[in-house]
Amino acid sequence: GTAQVGVTGLAVMGRNLARNLARHGHTVAVHNRTAARTRALVEGFGHEGAFVPARTAEEFVAALERPRRVLVMVRAGAPTDAVLDGLAPLLDEGDVVVDGGNAHFADTRRRERRLRERGVHFVGAGVSGGEEGALNGPSIMPGGSPEAWAALRPLLEDIAAKAADGAPCTAHIGPDGAGHFVKMVHNGIEYADMQLISEAHDLLRHVAGYEPARIAEVFRTWGTGRLDSYLIRITAEILAHADPVTGRPFVDVVADAAEQKGTGRWTVQTALDLGVPVSGIAEAVLARSLSGHTRLREASAGLPGPHRPPLAEEDAAYFADQIEQALYASKLVSYDQGWHMMRAASEEYGWGIDPGTVAAVWRGGCIIRAAFLDRVRAAFAADPALPTLLADEGFAGEVGEAQPAWRSAVAEAVRHGVPVPGLSAALASYDALRAGRLPAALVQAQRDYFGAHTYRRTDRAGVYHTLWGGDRSEVRAGS
Ligand code: 6PG
Protein backbone atom coordinates (compact mmCIF):
# COMPACT_ATOMS: atom_id res chain seq x y z
CA GLY A 1 0.00 0.00 0.00
CA THR A 2 0.96 3.62 -0.51
CA ALA A 3 -1.39 5.52 1.76
CA GLN A 4 0.18 6.84 4.97
CA VAL A 5 -3.09 6.73 6.85
CA GLY A 6 -6.61 5.43 6.40
CA VAL A 7 -9.94 6.80 7.57
CA THR A 8 -12.96 4.52 7.78
CA GLY A 9 -16.31 6.08 8.59
CA LEU A 10 -16.89 9.13 6.42
CA ALA A 11 -19.71 10.95 8.15
CA VAL A 12 -18.88 14.59 8.68
CA MET A 13 -16.19 14.10 11.38
CA GLY A 14 -14.41 11.34 9.47
CA ARG A 15 -14.67 13.17 6.17
CA ASN A 16 -13.26 16.38 7.63
CA LEU A 17 -10.39 14.63 9.39
CA ALA A 18 -9.56 12.82 6.14
CA ARG A 19 -9.55 16.15 4.29
CA ASN A 20 -7.43 17.73 7.02
CA LEU A 21 -4.88 14.91 6.67
CA ALA A 22 -4.89 15.18 2.87
CA ARG A 23 -4.51 18.95 2.97
CA HIS A 24 -1.37 18.41 5.03
CA GLY A 25 0.14 16.33 2.25
CA HIS A 26 -0.64 12.84 3.54
CA THR A 27 -2.01 10.20 1.20
CA VAL A 28 -5.27 9.07 2.79
CA ALA A 29 -7.07 5.79 2.13
CA VAL A 30 -10.80 6.38 2.62
CA HIS A 31 -13.53 3.86 3.25
CA ASN A 32 -17.15 3.88 4.29
CA ARG A 33 -19.69 1.10 4.79
CA THR A 34 -21.83 2.57 2.03
CA ALA A 35 -19.65 3.47 -0.94
CA ALA A 36 -21.68 6.57 -1.87
CA ARG A 37 -20.00 8.58 0.90
CA THR A 38 -16.54 7.55 -0.27
CA ARG A 39 -17.41 8.62 -3.82
CA ALA A 40 -18.86 11.93 -2.60
CA LEU A 41 -15.67 12.68 -0.67
CA VAL A 42 -13.38 11.99 -3.60
CA GLU A 43 -15.62 13.82 -6.09
CA GLY A 44 -16.17 16.82 -3.84
CA PHE A 45 -12.72 17.21 -2.32
CA GLY A 46 -10.35 15.06 -4.36
CA HIS A 47 -8.57 18.21 -5.52
CA GLU A 48 -7.51 19.01 -1.95
CA GLY A 49 -5.00 16.17 -1.74
CA ALA A 50 -4.29 12.51 -2.37
CA PHE A 51 -7.14 10.13 -1.54
CA VAL A 52 -7.22 6.41 -2.20
CA PRO A 53 -10.87 5.31 -2.22
CA ALA A 54 -11.54 1.75 -1.08
CA ARG A 55 -14.78 -0.16 -1.55
CA THR A 56 -14.13 -2.96 0.91
CA ALA A 57 -12.30 -3.30 4.21
CA GLU A 58 -9.83 -5.62 2.44
CA GLU A 59 -9.10 -3.01 -0.22
CA PHE A 60 -8.81 -0.35 2.46
CA VAL A 61 -6.28 -2.31 4.52
CA ALA A 62 -4.31 -3.25 1.39
CA ALA A 63 -4.03 0.43 0.43
CA LEU A 64 -2.06 1.27 3.57
CA GLU A 65 1.68 1.29 4.04
CA ARG A 66 2.92 -0.74 6.99
CA PRO A 67 2.78 -0.52 9.90
CA ARG A 68 -0.72 0.63 9.12
CA ARG A 69 -2.37 3.62 10.70
CA VAL A 70 -6.14 3.45 10.66
CA LEU A 71 -8.53 6.06 11.99
CA VAL A 72 -11.99 4.75 12.82
CA MET A 73 -14.66 7.46 12.83
CA VAL A 74 -17.96 5.72 13.42
CA ARG A 75 -20.62 6.11 16.08
CA ALA A 76 -19.65 5.11 19.62
CA GLY A 77 -20.92 1.79 20.97
CA ALA A 78 -21.96 -1.17 18.83
CA PRO A 79 -21.02 0.41 15.45
CA THR A 80 -17.43 0.89 16.70
CA ASP A 81 -17.23 -2.74 17.85
CA ALA A 82 -18.59 -3.92 14.50
CA VAL A 83 -15.95 -2.00 12.55
CA LEU A 84 -13.15 -3.16 14.86
CA ASP A 85 -14.31 -6.78 14.60
CA GLY A 86 -14.21 -6.47 10.82
CA LEU A 87 -10.76 -4.87 10.76
CA ALA A 88 -8.97 -6.97 13.37
CA PRO A 89 -8.45 -10.13 11.26
CA LEU A 90 -7.09 -8.03 8.39
CA LEU A 91 -4.43 -6.28 10.48
CA ASP A 92 -0.88 -7.30 11.30
CA GLU A 93 1.25 -7.01 14.37
CA GLY A 94 2.42 -3.44 14.94
CA ASP A 95 -0.50 -1.82 13.14
CA VAL A 96 -2.17 1.11 14.89
CA VAL A 97 -5.92 1.58 15.08
CA VAL A 98 -7.33 4.86 16.39
CA ASP A 99 -10.90 5.31 17.56
CA GLY A 100 -11.59 9.02 17.24
CA GLY A 101 -15.22 8.84 18.36
CA ASN A 102 -16.68 9.77 21.74
CA ALA A 103 -16.25 6.26 23.19
CA HIS A 104 -16.69 5.52 26.86
CA PHE A 105 -13.22 5.00 28.35
CA ALA A 106 -14.23 1.62 29.78
CA ASP A 107 -15.04 0.40 26.24
CA THR A 108 -11.70 1.75 25.10
CA ARG A 109 -9.89 -0.18 27.84
CA ARG A 110 -11.69 -3.37 26.78
CA ARG A 111 -10.94 -2.84 23.08
CA GLU A 112 -7.32 -1.99 23.78
CA ARG A 113 -6.87 -5.28 25.69
CA ARG A 114 -8.48 -7.30 22.93
CA LEU A 115 -6.41 -5.79 20.13
CA ARG A 116 -3.22 -5.92 22.19
CA GLU A 117 -3.61 -9.70 22.30
CA ARG A 118 -3.28 -9.63 18.50
CA GLY A 119 -0.28 -7.30 18.67
CA VAL A 120 -2.31 -4.38 17.34
CA HIS A 121 -1.99 -1.00 19.04
CA PHE A 122 -5.37 0.46 19.84
CA VAL A 123 -5.60 4.16 20.54
CA GLY A 124 -8.67 5.79 22.02
CA ALA A 125 -8.39 9.39 20.92
CA GLY A 126 -10.64 12.17 22.10
CA VAL A 127 -11.24 14.62 19.26
CA SER A 128 -12.82 17.95 20.07
CA GLY A 129 -13.82 20.93 18.02
CA GLY A 130 -16.80 19.71 16.08
CA GLU A 131 -16.95 19.65 12.27
CA GLU A 132 -15.06 22.87 11.85
CA GLY A 133 -12.29 21.73 14.20
CA ALA A 134 -11.96 18.38 12.46
CA LEU A 135 -11.33 20.18 9.19
CA ASN A 136 -9.15 23.07 10.32
CA GLY A 137 -7.54 21.81 13.51
CA PRO A 138 -9.09 19.92 16.41
CA SER A 139 -7.74 19.28 19.86
CA ILE A 140 -6.69 15.61 19.95
CA MET A 141 -6.29 13.54 23.12
CA PRO A 142 -4.85 10.12 22.26
CA GLY A 143 -4.51 7.32 24.80
CA GLY A 144 -2.50 4.22 24.01
CA SER A 145 0.98 2.74 23.94
CA PRO A 146 4.06 4.95 23.55
CA GLU A 147 4.82 3.04 20.31
CA ALA A 148 1.43 3.98 18.92
CA TRP A 149 1.98 7.60 19.88
CA ALA A 150 5.35 7.60 18.16
CA ALA A 151 3.69 6.29 14.98
CA LEU A 152 0.83 8.79 15.11
CA ARG A 153 2.62 11.83 16.39
CA PRO A 154 3.67 13.37 13.07
CA LEU A 155 0.16 12.99 11.64
CA LEU A 156 -1.65 14.27 14.71
CA GLU A 157 0.68 17.20 15.20
CA ASP A 158 0.10 18.20 11.58
CA ILE A 159 -3.67 18.21 11.74
CA ALA A 160 -4.20 19.46 15.31
CA ALA A 161 -5.01 23.05 16.17
CA LYS A 162 -2.05 25.20 17.13
CA ALA A 163 -2.00 27.12 20.39
CA ALA A 164 -1.03 30.81 20.47
CA ASP A 165 2.62 29.81 21.02
CA GLY A 166 2.48 27.53 17.96
CA ALA A 167 2.43 24.24 19.89
CA PRO A 168 0.12 21.59 18.40
CA CYS A 169 -2.93 20.85 20.56
CA THR A 170 -2.26 17.15 20.92
CA ALA A 171 -0.10 15.05 23.21
CA HIS A 172 0.15 11.50 24.49
CA ILE A 173 -2.30 11.52 27.40
CA GLY A 174 -1.55 8.07 28.81
CA PRO A 175 -2.26 4.36 28.22
CA ASP A 176 -5.50 2.67 27.09
CA GLY A 177 -8.57 4.67 28.21
CA ALA A 178 -6.73 7.83 29.32
CA GLY A 179 -7.44 9.79 26.14
CA HIS A 180 -11.14 9.08 26.04
CA PHE A 181 -11.35 9.71 29.77
CA VAL A 182 -9.81 13.15 29.33
CA LYS A 183 -12.16 13.86 26.42
CA MET A 184 -15.09 12.87 28.63
CA VAL A 185 -13.95 15.30 31.32
CA HIS A 186 -13.52 17.94 28.62
CA ASN A 187 -17.16 17.48 27.74
CA GLY A 188 -18.20 17.60 31.39
CA ILE A 189 -16.34 20.87 31.79
CA GLU A 190 -17.96 22.03 28.54
CA TYR A 191 -21.38 21.39 30.11
CA ALA A 192 -20.41 23.28 33.29
CA ASP A 193 -19.02 26.21 31.32
CA MET A 194 -22.15 26.44 29.14
CA GLN A 195 -24.39 26.28 32.21
CA LEU A 196 -22.44 29.03 34.00
CA ILE A 197 -22.55 31.26 30.94
CA SER A 198 -26.27 30.70 30.53
CA GLU A 199 -26.85 31.55 34.20
CA ALA A 200 -24.85 34.76 33.76
CA HIS A 201 -27.06 35.55 30.78
CA ASP A 202 -30.20 34.85 32.81
CA LEU A 203 -29.07 37.25 35.53
CA LEU A 204 -28.20 39.98 33.05
CA ARG A 205 -31.62 39.50 31.51
CA HIS A 206 -33.86 39.26 34.54
CA VAL A 207 -31.98 41.03 37.31
CA ALA A 208 -30.03 43.64 35.36
CA GLY A 209 -32.94 43.95 32.92
CA TYR A 210 -30.75 43.91 29.78
CA GLU A 211 -32.00 42.87 26.36
CA PRO A 212 -30.12 40.11 24.47
CA ALA A 213 -28.39 42.58 22.11
CA ARG A 214 -27.03 44.45 25.10
CA ILE A 215 -26.00 41.21 26.82
CA ALA A 216 -24.15 40.32 23.63
CA GLU A 217 -22.13 43.52 24.10
CA VAL A 218 -21.39 42.59 27.71
CA PHE A 219 -20.14 39.14 26.68
CA ARG A 220 -18.10 40.63 23.87
CA THR A 221 -16.36 42.89 26.37
CA TRP A 222 -15.82 40.03 28.81
CA GLY A 223 -14.34 38.03 25.97
CA THR A 224 -11.50 40.51 25.66
CA GLY A 225 -10.46 39.90 29.27
CA ARG A 226 -9.70 36.91 31.43
CA LEU A 227 -12.88 35.16 30.21
CA ASP A 228 -11.55 35.17 26.63
CA SER A 229 -12.81 31.87 25.23
CA TYR A 230 -14.61 30.26 22.33
CA LEU A 231 -17.80 29.67 24.34
CA ILE A 232 -17.98 33.33 25.42
CA ARG A 233 -17.40 34.46 21.82
CA ILE A 234 -20.14 32.26 20.34
CA THR A 235 -22.48 33.31 23.15
CA ALA A 236 -22.02 36.96 22.15
CA GLU A 237 -22.74 36.04 18.53
CA ILE A 238 -25.83 34.02 19.40
CA LEU A 239 -27.24 36.78 21.60
CA ALA A 240 -26.70 39.38 18.87
CA HIS A 241 -28.53 37.22 16.32
CA ALA A 242 -32.12 38.09 15.38
CA ASP A 243 -34.47 35.33 14.28
CA PRO A 244 -35.02 35.87 10.53
CA VAL A 245 -38.58 34.52 10.78
CA THR A 246 -39.92 36.75 13.54
CA GLY A 247 -37.25 39.40 13.97
CA ARG A 248 -37.16 38.57 17.67
CA PRO A 249 -33.93 37.79 19.53
CA PHE A 250 -32.97 34.32 18.35
CA VAL A 251 -32.45 33.07 21.91
CA ASP A 252 -36.11 33.82 22.62
CA VAL A 253 -37.44 31.57 19.87
CA VAL A 254 -35.36 28.50 20.79
CA ALA A 255 -37.26 25.94 22.90
CA ASP A 256 -35.76 25.91 26.39
CA ALA A 257 -35.24 22.16 26.79
CA ALA A 258 -31.52 21.30 26.63
CA GLU A 259 -30.58 17.90 25.27
CA GLN A 260 -27.48 15.79 25.70
CA LYS A 261 -25.84 12.93 23.94
CA GLY A 262 -24.54 11.65 27.24
CA THR A 263 -20.87 12.46 27.76
CA GLY A 264 -21.70 14.92 30.55
CA ARG A 265 -23.78 12.26 32.24
CA TRP A 266 -20.89 9.79 31.90
CA THR A 267 -18.59 12.30 33.56
CA VAL A 268 -20.85 12.60 36.58
CA GLN A 269 -21.50 8.84 36.81
CA THR A 270 -17.78 8.20 36.68
CA ALA A 271 -17.02 10.93 39.19
CA LEU A 272 -19.49 9.39 41.63
CA ASP A 273 -17.71 6.06 41.27
CA LEU A 274 -14.35 7.70 41.84
CA GLY A 275 -15.72 9.59 44.85
CA VAL A 276 -14.82 12.97 43.38
CA PRO A 277 -17.23 15.88 43.83
CA VAL A 278 -17.79 17.49 40.44
CA SER A 279 -20.70 19.67 41.50
CA GLY A 280 -20.30 22.14 38.63
CA ILE A 281 -20.63 19.43 36.01
CA ALA A 282 -23.37 17.63 37.97
CA GLU A 283 -25.46 20.80 38.29
CA ALA A 284 -25.10 21.38 34.56
CA VAL A 285 -26.32 17.88 33.75
CA LEU A 286 -29.18 18.24 36.23
CA ALA A 287 -30.17 21.63 34.83
CA ARG A 288 -30.41 20.15 31.33
CA SER A 289 -32.46 17.31 32.71
CA LEU A 290 -34.82 19.63 34.60
CA SER A 291 -35.31 21.80 31.52
CA GLY A 292 -36.70 18.81 29.65
CA HIS A 293 -39.37 17.93 32.23
CA THR A 294 -42.11 19.87 30.51
CA ARG A 295 -45.06 18.55 32.50
CA LEU A 296 -43.34 19.11 35.81
CA ARG A 297 -42.43 22.63 34.77
CA GLU A 298 -45.96 23.40 33.59
CA ALA A 299 -47.42 22.09 36.82
CA SER A 300 -45.02 24.30 38.81
CA ALA A 301 -45.24 27.44 36.72
CA GLY A 302 -47.73 29.22 38.98
CA LEU A 303 -45.85 28.75 42.25
CA PRO A 304 -45.09 31.96 44.15
CA GLY A 305 -41.76 33.72 43.91
CA PRO A 306 -40.44 37.19 44.65
CA HIS A 307 -41.70 40.03 42.46
CA ARG A 308 -38.71 42.26 42.12
CA PRO A 309 -38.31 44.71 39.32
CA PRO A 310 -34.99 44.71 37.45
CA LEU A 311 -32.26 46.85 38.95
CA ALA A 312 -31.92 50.53 38.16
CA GLU A 313 -29.44 51.37 35.40
CA GLU A 314 -26.45 52.23 37.63
CA ASP A 315 -27.01 49.27 39.89
CA ALA A 316 -27.34 47.05 36.83
CA ALA A 317 -23.90 48.08 35.55
CA TYR A 318 -22.41 47.38 38.95
CA PHE A 319 -24.21 44.05 39.09
CA ALA A 320 -22.95 43.11 35.63
CA ASP A 321 -19.41 43.50 36.89
CA GLN A 322 -20.22 41.29 39.87
CA ILE A 323 -21.50 38.63 37.49
CA GLU A 324 -18.24 38.70 35.56
CA GLN A 325 -16.42 37.98 38.80
CA ALA A 326 -18.87 35.27 39.83
CA LEU A 327 -18.60 33.67 36.41
CA TYR A 328 -14.82 33.69 36.44
CA ALA A 329 -14.52 32.29 39.97
CA SER A 330 -17.16 29.61 39.29
CA LYS A 331 -15.44 28.65 36.06
CA LEU A 332 -12.18 28.23 37.89
CA VAL A 333 -13.82 26.00 40.53
CA SER A 334 -15.58 23.87 37.91
CA TYR A 335 -12.42 23.37 35.87
CA ASP A 336 -10.56 22.56 39.06
CA GLN A 337 -13.12 19.83 39.80
CA GLY A 338 -12.42 18.37 36.36
CA TRP A 339 -8.71 18.23 37.13
CA HIS A 340 -9.41 16.65 40.49
CA MET A 341 -11.31 13.94 38.65
CA MET A 342 -8.50 13.34 36.16
CA ARG A 343 -5.99 13.07 39.01
CA ALA A 344 -8.19 10.52 40.80
CA ALA A 345 -8.65 8.41 37.66
CA SER A 346 -4.98 8.64 36.81
CA GLU A 347 -4.15 7.21 40.23
CA GLU A 348 -6.87 4.59 40.04
CA TYR A 349 -5.81 3.32 36.60
CA GLY A 350 -2.11 4.11 36.77
CA TRP A 351 -2.30 6.42 33.77
CA GLY A 352 0.26 9.02 34.77
CA ILE A 353 -1.76 11.85 33.24
CA ASP A 354 0.17 15.11 33.38
CA PRO A 355 -2.28 17.86 34.36
CA GLY A 356 -0.37 20.61 32.59
CA THR A 357 -0.30 18.64 29.34
CA VAL A 358 -4.09 18.37 29.37
CA ALA A 359 -4.38 22.14 29.81
CA ALA A 360 -1.91 22.67 26.97
CA VAL A 361 -3.87 20.40 24.63
CA TRP A 362 -7.11 22.23 25.45
CA ARG A 363 -5.68 25.67 24.61
CA GLY A 364 -6.79 25.40 21.00
CA GLY A 365 -9.20 23.53 18.77
CA CYS A 366 -11.59 22.23 21.40
CA ILE A 367 -14.92 23.63 22.56
CA ILE A 368 -13.58 24.85 25.91
CA ARG A 369 -10.51 26.53 24.39
CA ALA A 370 -9.71 29.63 26.37
CA ALA A 371 -6.87 32.01 27.09
CA PHE A 372 -7.18 31.00 30.73
CA LEU A 373 -6.00 27.45 29.94
CA ASP A 374 -2.49 28.68 29.25
CA ARG A 375 -2.39 29.93 32.82
CA VAL A 376 -3.68 26.56 34.04
CA ARG A 377 -0.88 24.93 32.04
CA ALA A 378 1.68 27.25 33.62
CA ALA A 379 0.35 26.60 37.13
CA PHE A 380 0.70 22.84 36.70
CA ALA A 381 4.04 23.19 34.96
CA ALA A 382 5.30 25.04 38.03
CA ASP A 383 3.90 22.34 40.32
CA PRO A 384 2.44 19.16 38.75
CA ALA A 385 1.36 18.01 42.22
CA LEU A 386 -0.77 21.11 42.82
CA PRO A 387 -3.77 19.68 44.74
CA THR A 388 -6.06 22.46 43.50
CA LEU A 389 -5.73 25.42 41.16
CA LEU A 390 -6.65 27.55 44.17
CA ALA A 391 -3.32 26.58 45.69
CA ASP A 392 -1.72 28.56 42.86
CA GLU A 393 -0.95 32.05 44.12
CA GLY A 394 -2.24 33.82 41.01
CA PHE A 395 -5.58 32.02 40.89
CA ALA A 396 -6.02 32.19 44.67
CA GLY A 397 -5.50 35.95 44.52
CA GLU A 398 -8.06 36.39 41.77
CA VAL A 399 -10.72 34.29 43.46
CA GLY A 400 -10.02 35.96 46.79
CA GLU A 401 -10.66 39.30 45.14
CA ALA A 402 -13.74 38.03 43.32
CA GLN A 403 -15.39 36.32 46.24
CA PRO A 404 -17.32 39.27 47.70
CA ALA A 405 -18.83 40.02 44.27
CA TRP A 406 -19.45 36.31 43.73
CA ARG A 407 -21.49 36.19 46.95
CA SER A 408 -23.41 39.33 46.03
CA ALA A 409 -24.26 37.96 42.62
CA VAL A 410 -25.55 34.68 44.06
CA ALA A 411 -27.45 36.49 46.82
CA GLU A 412 -29.05 38.86 44.31
CA ALA A 413 -30.04 35.88 42.17
CA VAL A 414 -31.69 34.24 45.16
CA ARG A 415 -33.52 37.47 46.09
CA HIS A 416 -34.84 37.76 42.54
CA GLY A 417 -35.76 34.10 42.31
CA VAL A 418 -33.44 33.37 39.40
CA PRO A 419 -31.99 29.85 39.63
CA VAL A 420 -28.18 29.75 39.53
CA PRO A 421 -27.33 26.14 40.40
CA GLY A 422 -23.91 26.35 38.75
CA LEU A 423 -22.78 29.64 40.28
CA SER A 424 -24.07 28.73 43.73
CA ALA A 425 -22.71 25.16 43.70
CA ALA A 426 -19.29 26.49 42.78
CA LEU A 427 -19.46 28.99 45.61
CA ALA A 428 -20.58 26.27 48.03
CA SER A 429 -17.66 24.11 46.92
CA TYR A 430 -15.27 27.00 47.48
CA ASP A 431 -16.67 27.68 50.94
CA ALA A 432 -16.68 24.00 51.90
CA LEU A 433 -13.09 23.49 50.84
CA ARG A 434 -11.82 26.53 52.70
CA ALA A 435 -13.86 25.83 55.86
CA GLY A 436 -11.78 24.58 58.76
CA ARG A 437 -14.57 22.33 60.02
CA LEU A 438 -17.45 20.82 58.12
CA PRO A 439 -20.85 19.62 59.32
CA ALA A 440 -19.67 16.18 58.22
CA ALA A 441 -18.88 15.72 61.92
CA LEU A 442 -22.59 15.78 62.70
CA VAL A 443 -23.32 13.38 59.85
CA GLN A 444 -20.80 10.94 61.32
CA ALA A 445 -22.44 11.28 64.75
CA GLN A 446 -25.88 10.59 63.24
CA ARG A 447 -24.55 7.54 61.46
CA ASP A 448 -23.12 6.29 64.69
CA TYR A 449 -26.41 6.94 66.52
CA PHE A 450 -28.72 5.00 64.26
CA GLY A 451 -26.41 2.43 62.80
CA ALA A 452 -23.37 2.10 65.07
CA HIS A 453 -21.31 3.09 62.06
CA THR A 454 -18.54 4.47 64.34
CA TYR A 455 -16.50 7.66 64.09
CA ARG A 456 -13.00 8.99 64.58
CA ARG A 457 -12.14 11.69 67.08
CA THR A 458 -10.25 14.91 66.56
CA ASP A 459 -8.20 14.44 69.72
CA ARG A 460 -7.28 10.76 69.81
CA ALA A 461 -6.45 8.03 67.34
CA GLY A 462 -8.75 5.05 66.87
CA VAL A 463 -12.32 4.26 65.92
CA TYR A 464 -15.13 4.79 68.41
CA HIS A 465 -18.80 4.15 69.04
CA THR A 466 -21.10 5.76 71.59
CA LEU A 467 -23.65 3.51 73.31
CA TRP A 468 -26.55 5.78 72.30
CA GLY A 469 -29.22 3.33 73.44
CA GLY A 470 -27.50 2.69 76.77
CA ASP A 471 -25.53 4.87 79.17
CA ARG A 472 -23.95 6.87 76.32
CA SER A 473 -20.48 5.96 77.31
CA GLU A 474 -17.93 5.62 74.54
CA VAL A 475 -16.31 2.39 73.54
CA ARG A 476 -13.45 1.70 71.18
CA ALA A 477 -14.79 -0.05 68.12
CA GLY A 478 -13.48 -3.49 67.38
CA SER A 479 -12.31 -3.98 70.96
C1 6PG B 1 -16.50 18.54 21.14
C2 6PG B 1 -17.92 18.37 21.58
C3 6PG B 1 -18.57 17.24 20.85
C4 6PG B 1 -20.08 17.22 20.91
C5 6PG B 1 -20.62 17.23 22.31
C6 6PG B 1 -22.07 17.62 22.37
O7 6PG B 1 -15.65 18.43 22.02
O8 6PG B 1 -16.26 18.79 19.97
O9 6PG B 1 -17.94 18.12 22.94
O10 6PG B 1 -18.00 16.05 21.32
O11 6PG B 1 -20.57 18.28 20.19
O12 6PG B 1 -20.46 15.94 22.80
O13 6PG B 1 -22.56 17.06 23.51
P14 6PG B 1 -24.06 16.99 23.93
O15 6PG B 1 -24.86 16.58 22.73
O16 6PG B 1 -24.05 15.95 25.00
O17 6PG B 1 -24.39 18.36 24.41
Q: What is the pLDDT of residues 284-322, one digit of tens each?
A: 999 999 999 999 999 999 999 999 999 999 999 999 999
**Contact at 8 Å (CB) between 57 and 8?**
yes
The residue ranges of every structural domain in the chain are: 5-176, 183-434, 440-476
Ligand 1 pocket, 322 CB below 6 A?
no
pLDDT by residue (tens digit) across 397-438?
A: 999 999 999 999 999 999 999 999 999 999 999 999 999 999
**Contact at 8 Å (CB) between 264 and 422?**
no
Give dist(CA 412, CA 408) in Å, integer.
6
Top CATH class, 183-434: mainly alpha
Give dist(CA 438, CA 453) in Å, integer.
19
pLDDT of residue 3 exceeding 70: yes
What is 5-176's CATH superfamily? Answer: NAD(P)-binding Rossmann-like Domain (3.40.50.720)
Q: What is the whole-number distance in angstroms between the Cα of residue 366 and the centre of ligand 1?
A: 10
The answer to whether residue 261 is catalytic is: no
pLDDT at 56: 97
Top CATH class, 440-476: mainly alpha
Four-point Cα dihedral 111, 115, 117, 121, nearest 10:
-120
pLDDT by residue (tens digit) across 155-168?
A: 999 999 999 999 99
Phi, psi (deg, nearest 5) at residue 122: -110, 130
Q: Can you tell me which atom of ligand 1 is nearest the CA of 191?
A: 17
- Mutation pick for ligand 1 pocket among 75, 140, 190 (CB with most ligand atoms within 8 Å): 190
pLDDT by residue (tens digit) across 237-259?
A: 999 999 999 999 999 999 999 99
pLDDT by residue (tens digit) across 22-77?
A: 999 999 999 999 999 999 999 999 999 999 999 999 999 999 999 999 999 999 99
ipTM topping 0.90: yes
pLDDT at 1: 82
pLDDT of residue 479 exceeding 90: no
pLDDT averaged over the chain?
A: 97
Q: What is the whole-number distance in angstroms between the Cα of residue 437 and the centre of ligand 1?
A: 39
Q: List, in order, residues 6 or more apart from 376 with CB less than 8 Å away.
A: 335, 339, 356, 359, 389
Q: Can you tell me which atom of ligand 1 is nearest the CA of 126?
A: 7
